[in-house]
Amino acid sequence: MRDERDESIVRTLEGLTVVVTGSLEAFNRDQVKEAIIVRGGKAAGSVSKKTDFVVVGENAGSKEAKARELGLTILDEAGFVTLLAEGPPAAEEPLLDDDGEPVVDGEPANGAVEAPQD
């Protein structure tokens, strides 16, 4: 029996590991996992140095702290949606300003957050 998958969905996460922590507004846990898997990614439950992206929602907790400690790319829900649609280059563009808000060229960005470097 061959693996059934929707060939119309672009595999924007091929080979990437994504951890989602906290609550997202537009996705439940099953929807998040499915969205990652059908795009070729691995939906992981814990953060490690092998994690490519960490998506943080409300009440994210210790997984967000660990991702920051490891210097991983952290996305909010808007950044996650961009990652799903366009892949890593589009999601990785913006950085945080001094107030913790994502910006690109002084304008609000698509939700990607880069962890501060020590």
Given this model, what pLDDT does residue 42 score?
A: 97
Pinpoint the alpha helices (H) of 1-118.
29-38, 62-70, 77-86, 88-92
Dihedral (C-alpha) 83, 41, 70, 25: value to the nearest 10 degrees?
50
User: 0.85 cut: is pTM over it?
Assistant: no
Given this model, what pLDDT does residue 93 score?
A: 55
Between CA 76 and CA 95 the distance in angstroms is 12
Given this model, what pLDDT does residue 105 score?
A: 43
CATH number of 17-114: 3.40.50.10190
pLDDT in tens, the chain (118 residues): 444 556 778 899 999 999 999 999 999 999 999 999 999 999 999 999 999 999 999 998 899 999 999 999 999 999 999 999 999 987 765 445 556 665 544 444 455 555 544 4
Given this model, what pLDDT does residue 15 score?
A: 94
Domain locations along the chain: 17-114
Cβ burial, residue 20 (10 Å; 0-12/13-18/19+) = buried
